Amino acid sequence: MRITVLGAGSWGTTVAAVLTRRDHESLIWARDPVVADEINAKHTNERYLQGFTLPERLRATADLSEAAGHAELLVVGVPTGAFRGTLERVRADLHPWIPVVSLSKGLERDSLLRMSEVIKDVLPGHPAAALTGPNLAKEIMAGMAAATVIATEDLTVATEIQRVFRRGLLRVYTNHDVIGCEVGGALKNVVAIATGIAQGLGVGDNTRAGVISRGLAELTTLAVAMGGEPTTLAGLAGMGDLVATCISPHSRNRYVGEQLGRGRSLDDILAEMGQVAEGVKTVHAAVQLADQHELAMPITRTIHRVITGDITAERAYEGLLRSHPAGHESEPG
C-alpha cells in the first residue's frame, strides 16, 4: 500500500519507519526541506530521533501536493495547532474516500473538536481514525515491545488499518470508542504536566501516584460526559498512555511540568525544547469542556492556572492538597 505520513517529528517519523519495514511504500512529508533531504540522503532525522537509522526505502518530501497525491492511506502526525490547516492544504490533491488516521493527541483550541472530528469536518467522506496508546517513539524505534489502539466507529475499517500497522513487537488493537480513546490521549498530557511538577518539586512518589490516579478519574469523567465509555479509559488509550506519559523521561509534557516545578518560566522551557508539548494547549480546551459539562476537574483547572501564570507550580500543589475535603473515591475531584 502507498502510505503518506504528514509530519516528520519523532512520532511521525517512527510511524513512517514502522510502516516502511512492514513493506509498505511509505512517503513522509517534512515541513522543513532540510529534514526531508536528511532523511533521503542520510536515512536519519537527528533533530527528533538522534542516534537512530531509518529504513533506506523510506522516502521524504517537502512538497505537500506530492505527499497527498501519493497516499492510499493518509496518516497525520502534525501538531494539533497545525492539523486543520494541513488538511485544508492537502484536500485538493487527496484521492477520494481514502482513510485518514490521526496521530495527534489533543483538542482543537477554538472549536474544542477532537482530531477525528476535524478530519470529518475538513475531509467529509474520508473514514477517520485515531492511533493512540502508550507509544513512546524512541522505545519503538529501539525495537521494544509496545501496544497501540486504532480507534474508529467502523470496525471493518479499523481491522484493515490494524493489518497495515501490525508489525513485530508492535501489537495493534481496535476500538470503536473514538471519543474515549481521543479524550484519554489528549487529557493524559495535562495530567503529565501535573505529575512532572510533582517531580520537579520533589514531593515524593506517593504524591505522583495520587496525581496519576486522580488524573485518570478526571479524564474518565470528562470522556464519559462527552459520550465515551469508562472501560476505554481503563485500557491502553487511558491508563496505559497516562502511565507512560507521566513516568517516562522521554515525555515532553512531563518535562514541561518538571521544569515548571523547578521554578522556570513556561516561555523559557518551550523555547529550549523546540518541540510541541500538546498538554500546554490542550488544557485551555479541557477547561472549557469541563465548564460545558459542569465538571469540577480540579487537577485540570489547577494546571490551567499554572500555564496561564495565575499561580506558581508550588502554589498549585498546596491548593490541590488543601482546596476541598475528599469524597468517595469513585467520585471525581
Detail the residues annotated as belonging to a binding site for sn-glycerol 3-phosphate.
105, 133, 188, 241, 251-253
Q: Kindly compute the dihedral angle of the four CA atoms of residues 153, 225, 101, 174, in this order, to the nearest 10 degrees.
A: -50
Q: In what order do the strands lie in the sheet with 25-29?
A: 59-61, 25-29, 2-6, 73-76, 100-102, 128-132, 146-151, 170-175
CA 217, CA 222: separation in Å to the nearest integer?
Answer: 9
Helix (H, G, I), strand (E, B) or coil at 221: helix
**281 included as an active-site residue:** no
Q: Choosing from 42, 120, 138, 188, which is the catalytic residue?
A: 188
User: Number of C-alpha atoms within 13 angstroms, CB side, residue 318?
Assistant: 5
Known binding residues? 7-12, 31, 48, 105, 133, 137, 188, 241, 251-253, 276, 278
Give which of 184, 190, 185 is closest to 298, Cα–Cα. 190
- Burial of 255 per CB tally in 10 Å (0-12, 13-18, 19+): buried
Residues in contact with 86: Cβ distance below 8 Å, sequence separation at least 6, in sequence order:
6, 7, 64, 76, 78
185, 237 contact by CB (below 8 A): yes
CA 234, CA 211: separation in Å to the nearest integer?
Answer: 16
164, 23 contact by CB (below 8 A): no
Residues in contact with 136: Cβ distance below 8 Å, sequence separation at least 6, in sequence order:
146, 244, 248, 250, 251
77, 104 contact by CB (below 8 A): yes
Measure the CA angle with vertex 213, ends 209 and 200; round to 5°.
40
The beta strand positions in the chain, using DSSP E, are 2-6, 25-29, 59-61, 73-76, 100-102, 128-132, 146-151, 170-175
Known binding residues for NADPH? 10-11, 31, 48, 105, 137, 252, 276, 278
Cell numbers of 244, please?
507512560
Residues belonging to the active site = 188
